[in-house]
Amino acid sequence: MAQQHTEQQLDFVDDVTDAEAREAAHRERGTARPITVVGNPVLHRECKDVTAFDDSLVALVDDMFASQRAAEGVGLAANQIGVDLKVFVYDCADDDDVRHVGALCNPVPVELPADRRRLDDSNEGCLSVPGAYMELARPDYAIVRGQDLQGNPIVVQGTGYFARCLQHETDHLYGRLYIDRLSKRDRKDVLRQMAEATPKFETVPND
């Protein structure tokens, strides 16, 4: 169940300042890993909560940033590199071309009032469904609560394309891919696109 709060109650994290330097520091410490694709069981179940906010979590996030850059993505959930934990990273611009960089553990979407739920039906893609895109209606504003790498509570907000990213990555950690929100016809089309495409990055073959 999503949590509902007024925006006045929320203290949004600053994920804009020094975005380039922060992303580079994580990426340079990390090692790129291959991307899991649709059909891999880890993508189709809810991930475990992050409970240990330690050096191993930081190392995982470093690898996630490296993997995200290698695959030319704007967001990456831990299960997309085969790790069963509720954490995602992002390096994504909003519709005003402002770059947002961060990591969020144990994300929970905040339920928005009806007047903030304007739908945007832009194309959506996914590193775990490589080479495929399809229109999908999502709210063009999103708020997600969670924890930072030290376990402190944080709240992230996004508009436009960045809002789509936040919703997409949160979905991943609850075992849902964007194609699960499509009609049967559109899902079949996406899987056809994927079958006909050649990934531009290393993937984990499904058994």
Residue 172 labelled as part of a binding site:
yes
Over residues 106-119, the pLDDT tens digits come to 999 999 888 877 99
- In total, how many domains does the chain have? 1
Which structural domain range is residue 113 located in? 10-199
Is residue 35 included in any domain, yes or no?
Answer: yes
Flag whether 99 is in a domain: yes
User: Which residue in 118, 128, 163 sits closest to 143, CA to CA?
Assistant: 163
Q: Is residue 207 part of a domain?
A: no
- What DSSP string runs through 182-201? S-HHHHHHHHHHHHHS--SS
On whether 5 is known to bind a ligand per the annotation, the reply is: no
For position 207, what pLDDT does the model report?
74
Residue 139 maps to a domain = yes
Catalytic pick from 7, 169, 196, 202? 169
pLDDT, tens only, 120-135:
999 999 999 999 999 9
Task: Determine, yes or no, domain membership for 123.
Answer: yes
Clarify whether 135 is annotated catalytic. Answer: no
* pTM for the model: 0.93
The reply to whether 105 sits in an annotated binding site is no
CATH number at residue 167: 3.90.45.10
